[in-house]
Structure 1
Amino acid sequence: MKENKYDDPAFFANYSQMRRSIDGLTAAGEWYAFREMLPDLQGKKVLDLGCGFGWHCRYAREQGALSVVGVDISENMLARARESAHDAAIEYRREAIEDIDFAEGAFDVVISSLALHYVEHFDIVCNKVNHCLVAGGAFVLSVEHPVFTALAAQDWYYDAEGKRLHWPVDGYQDEGLRQTNFLNNDVIKYHRTITTLINSLIDAGFSITKLSEPQPAAEVLARYPEMKDETRRPIFLLIAAVKKR
């Protein structure tokens, strides 16, 4: 199933008002950890899967990437990305992540930020990414943490006064589709265990080099105090892997 909520005008309008949408990477609490997991991008050919507004594409170019391809299913996302910077070395393509079909060894680095939990067949994407990477190429990705995606409600457990008591986890081993609510819309995500995520990468021919379950950066918490509860449970899982030579 290839869902595209972002081309719904009302949903996109709400999404565009999120802090991450307005302030970009500086408002992403996990960015400091994701950035540290990226390899040297100087002179590299980079692919960004689920590129959204193009923040990571532009960052790659700022770091000296030779060329960048950004893939996203949403025309609204791609239009905003194109408006934000005019750079002939960045190519934006409208395509579902599952449908990518690049030549063998076309890229040195593939990145994906908070997009792959919308993809039904993670294993297929891993194999396609491996195919389009050079030997020794890097795949760095972030997804919503399985502790976060296990329950479709994706919400805290509250007491009678509305105080957040704890984050419930149930059905963790029951992988598959979750009908969640995001920005007052029904959105489909796919829950996978950490084991499945890691083994899918290994089975596709990758070696895992680093994992991270980052808390929001201190400067982000200082700027956005409403994020203080994000330190109480992991919300993102970051994985760095390399294609075996």
Structure 2
Amino acid sequence: MKQNKYDDPEFFANYSQMPRSIGGLNAAGEWHALRAMLPELRDKRVLDLGCGFGWHCRYAREQQARSVIGVDLSENMLERARASTNDDAIEYRRLAIEDIDFDAEQFDVVISSLALHYVERFDIVCQKVNRFLVPGGAFVLSVEHPVFTALAPQDWYYGPQGERLHWPVDDYHHEGRRQTTFLEHQVVKYHRTVATHMNALIDSGFAITKLSEPSPDREMLEKHPDMQDETRRPIFLLMAAMKHE
């Protein structure tokens, strides 16, 4: 299933008002951790899967990457990315992640930020990415944490006064499709355990070099006190892997 909610005008309008949509990478609670997991980007050929507004593409060029290709299924996303980009070394393509097809060893680094939990076959994507990367190339990605995706409602358990008591986890080992509500719309996501993510990378020819389950750092919490509850359970799972030499 290739889902394209971002070309729904109402959904896209809601997404465009999110802090990370307005403030970019520095407004993303996990960016400090993802940035630390990226390899040296100078003179690298970079692919961004699910590039959205192009924030990571432009960051790669700021770090002097040689070239960047960003792919996304949403024309709304790509229109905004192109409008925010003035750089001939960045190319945006309308393409579903499931349909990516590039030459073997075409890239040095592949990035994907909060897109792959919308893709049903993570293992196939890993296999493709491994083929596209040079030996020693890096795959750095973030997804919604399996603790967050396990239950379809993706919401807190509330007390009698509406207080957030705890985050419920159930059906963790029942992997697969979850229909949940995001930005007041029904969205399909795919739940996978931490082990499934890791083993898909390993089985595809990667060595995992780093894992992270970040919470917002102190600076982010000072700017956005409403994010304090994000320290109570993991919302993101970040992974860095290297293709075997």
Fold in common (TM above 0.5): yes
Q: Distance in 2 between matches of 1:112 and 1:217?
A: 21
Per-residue deviation, 1:86: 1.3
Per-residue deviation, 1:111: 0.3
Corresponding residue SS for 2:103: coil
Corresponding residue SS for 2:188: strand
Q: Distance in 2 between matches of 1:4 and 1:237?
A: 23
Hey, what does 2:27 align to over in structure 1?
A: 27
Gaps of 5+ in 1: none
Hey, what does 2:37 align to over in structure 1?
A: 37
Q: Distance in 2 between matches of 1:86 and 1:28?
A: 23
Q: Distance in 1 between matches of 2:85 and 2:219?
A: 26
Per-residue deviation, 1:218: 1.1
Per-residue deviation, 1:118: 0.3
Q: Distance in 2 between matches of 1:82 and 1:9?
A: 18
Corresponding residue SS for 1:186: strand
Hey, what does 1:237 align to over in structure 2?
A: 237
Corresponding residue SS for 2:26: helix
Superposed, 1:121-132 pairs within 5 Å as 121-132=121-132
State TM-score, norm by structure 2: 1.00
Hey, what does 2:88 align to over in structure 1?
A: 88
CA RMSD, Structure 1 to Structure 2 (Å): 0.4
Q: Distance in 2 between matches of 1:5 and 1:67?
A: 28
C-alpha deviations, 1:19-67, integer Å up to 9, x for none? 0000000111110000000000000000000000000000000000000
Counterpart amino acid of residue 145 in structure 2: H
Hey, what does 1:53 align to over in structure 2?
A: 53
Superposed, 1:99-138 pairs within 5 Å as 99-138=99-138
Q: Distance in 2 between matches of 1:210 and 1:14?
A: 33
Counterpart amino acid of residue 175 in structure 1: E
Question: 4+ runs of 1 displaced by more than 6 Å?
Answer: none
Q: Distance in 1 between matches of 2:157 and 2:196?
A: 27
Counterpart amino acid of residue 148 in structure 1: F
Q: Distance in 1 between matches of 2:105 and 2:38?
A: 18
C-alpha deviations, 1:184-242, integer Å up to 9, x for none? 00000000000100000000000000000001121111111111100000000000000
Q: Distance in 2 between matches of 1:116 and 1:219?
A: 28
Counterpart amino acid of residue 136 in structure 1: G
State TM-score, norm by structure 1: 1.00
Corresponding residue SS for 2:162: coil
